[in-house]
Chains A and B, each alone.
Chain A
Amino acid sequence: MRRNGGWIWRGVVATALLTAFSFISVAQKVVVWESEGYGLGAVKDRVEQLTGLQLEIRDFPYGELRSKLETTLLTGDPGVAPDIVMVDSIWLGELVSGGYLADLTQAVAGVAKDWYPAFRNGSQWPPASGKYYGLWYDTDVRLTFYWPGLLQKAGVNPGDLLYWDTYITACKNLKAALKDQGIGGCWLDMAGGWAPDFEFFPYLWQEGGKILEKRDGKYVPAFQSEAGVRALQFLVDRVKAGIDPQTQTFWGNDFAQKKWAVYPHGNWAASESRFPKTTARERQQRIAALPLPVSAPGKVPVTLAGGWIMSVPAVLQSKAPDRFDRAVKVMQAFLRSDVMTDYYGALARVPVRAGVDRKTLSQKIEFFDFYTKLASVARVRPAIPQWSQVSDAIFQAMGDAVFKGVDPKVALEKAAEQVRQILAH
């Protein structure tokens, strides 16, 4: 009988040993959290060399990074917090209001003078308040890419892509001409949370509208204005003209495979990862780029700029000052203009500051001068704490107008009412 149960106890001992093994901690390193593929690893060696500290860069899928940040920081336990976090610029208000991010004014205010105003202000909370909670590290712009050869084959003039009405006709012609080859005409992104960034906000701004505005010190919805209705109407018109809204996105990989002739998206759609083993020059020769279309000549093709802010968890400042100091040291190395130049060059990112090596970058990044020119007139989204809810409400209005045939004005009014309630809290 004794033998029968013996295996259980052996199992207990084995488990205890394995558990002990799992407790063994790793060597102290400066831990950086970034969104998957952000690529700070490209300058890891350089930063380690500059600081004499070891870095560990951890990638998380986009949505996971956010929930991980939220949950980790709310424990108030430095033991589970990273040393440096990359924060999507639209999360800044929420994370600062929650008290999760350290005030870095002392560490970065000096170097921030070199940043373009939109990104300098956007690194502060409230915006332009003088209180920095990090520094914007890179940006991206929205624009129209196209395959010149395909346009030629369909007899479409690239200049037609510059204005709303000719854009729609061009897309119709492209769709009809390229259908037999299994190539789509114009891409239209309705794939998820980001759709308003691509298909609504830039046009709203071009028409002189705003997403939100401040009244008596409080944010209220402003996107339901005339400008907003015109911008949403442009979306509806495109769909009605046969440009099918796409509910699944491949982030430009399908454009690189020539499945679309015209592809309004972010600058990443042209980067090397989509066109492997090509140089910037080669990519520039194969595809072409234009600003997003405007409703009439003379209007400025305003685009949307996103990007990531490099920051440090507040819990380090209060509970682990030595780690905080190391994090700041590492961050200052990351923010050197030569390090940032290396990073931009390696990942084809758009700079947020003037003092980078433009000559080198324009050789490494396709359409570099064009991107920086667009970035100079780009706008950023308000990084208020409730931003994700606001954005989702607007996305829903777009969906109602496109998929359910709701009148754009009605759809936007409904969303505005919802946003009013969201902002009331």
Chain B
Amino acid sequence: MRRTRGARWLALLPVYGFLLAYLLFTIVPVYWVFATSFKPAQEVMSFPPTLLPHRLSLENYVAVFTQTRLARGVVNSLIVSSSATLLALFIATLAAYAFTRFRFRGKGVLMGTVLGLYLIPPLIGIIPLFLLFSKLGLLNNLFGLALAYQSLVLPLLTFMLKNYFEGIPVEVEEAAMIDGCSRVGVLRWVTLPLALPGLATAAIFAFIFSWNEFVMALTLLLREDLKTVQLVIMEFVKLHRIEWGQLTAAMVVGMAPVLLFIVFAQRYLIAGLLGGATKS
């Protein structure tokens, strides 16, 4: 029954063919955006379109950074995303720790609520949230937007971290407590350092979510100088025409953090997806 190496390859050919096809399906739309962004203006609108840019040009990138609010948008998005991430991590860590280490009344209800929030169409909250924020003076405020974002990622983050904490043996903490450490001290000095990979994963998720969101931002921010990067990208699509060269360049800037995470932190990203998704 032993097959030769060649025959094995032949049997796997359809599999490799399928993988190659899917690989193309995945990267071609992204490639097309990249390719367009590096074409000079006339080439973008030349017919038939060129598969590869004939001349690599940075003019679109120069234009989006010098003539538009994109740079400001990137800064705004960094402010919102990092604030939301830190806040969500803080809240989710405390809650996840309580869910794994304490028994208390209402725990089941609370965990059920957290899960149940997955069911809610995200749209449902926009108008009431808008009215609430206007009462609190949080409209037109990047920190207000960060508050909204952090609570939207909380359910996911809480369950991710809960799974992670469950994997840390209680004995380590008990040892520290015998040494006279308080609960908060244990969490701060014992559990958190051990949970750093889990925290990193959770942070990446919160950051990417906040970076990508646009409907809340569209509603809660009314000033142009506060626009996040996604909202600035939308500006390139005008009623009467679309500047595809500049739009694609702005899109590349808009997906930069996501690409960076894939290149440099894919381990955490995939760990989070594999772990956080199944065990809830």
Contact = CB atoms under 8 A, between A and B. Distances in A.
Direct contact of A and B (CB under 8 A): yes
Interface of A: 1-2, 4-5, 8, 11-12, 14-15, 18-19, 21-23, 26, 36-37, 58, 61-62, 64, 67-68, 71-72, 74-77, 79-80, 250-253, 273
Contacts of B130: 71, 75
Contacts of A26: 225
Contacts of A1: 189, 193
Interface stretch (B32-40, B101-109, B234-242): B234-242
Contacts of B222: 68, 72, 80
A11 B85 CA distance: 10
B140 A80 contact: yes
Nearest to B192: A5
Interface in B71-125: 76, 79, 82-83, 86
A75 B193 contact: no
A107 B126 CA distance: 37
A75 B131 contact: yes
Nearest to A79: B137
B79 A22 contact: yes
A79 B134 CA distance: 9
Contact of A36 (B137, B139, B189, B239): B239
Given A5-B192, A80-B140, A11 B134 contact: no
B contacts with A: majority SS? helix
A253 B241 contact: yes
6 contacts: A4-B196, A5-B188, A5-B192, A15-B83, A19-B146, A253-B241
A61 B237 CA distance: 9
Nearest to A82: B222
B193 A4 contact: yes
Interface of B: 76, 79, 82-83, 86, 127, 130-131, 134, 137, 139-143, 146, 188-189, 192-193, 196, 218-219, 222, 224-226, 234, 237-241
Given A22-B143, A23-B141, A77-B134, A11 B239 contact: no
Contact of B142 (A19, A71, A250): A19
B82 A22 contact: no
B238 to A, nearest CB: 6
A350 to B, nearest CB: 18
Contacts of A12: 86
A37 B240 contact: yes
Contacts of B226: 22
Contacts of B82: 11, 14-15, 18
A18 B189 CA distance: 27
Given A4-B193, A5-B193, A18 B137 contact: no
Contact of A58 (B134, B224, B239, B240): B224
Nearest to B130: A71
Nearest to A16: B83
A62 B189 CA distance: 54
A75 B137 CA distance: 10
Contacts of B141: 22-23
A21 B83 CA distance: 13
Contacts of A250: 240-241
Given A22-B141, A22-B226, A250-B240, A71 B193 contact: no
Given A79-B137, A80-B140, A250-B240, 17 more contacts: A4-B192, A8-B86, A14-B82, A15-B86, A19-B142, A19-B143, A21-B79, A26-B225, A37-B238, A58-B224, A64-B218, A67-B219, A74-B131, A75-B134, A77-B134, A80-B139, A251-B241
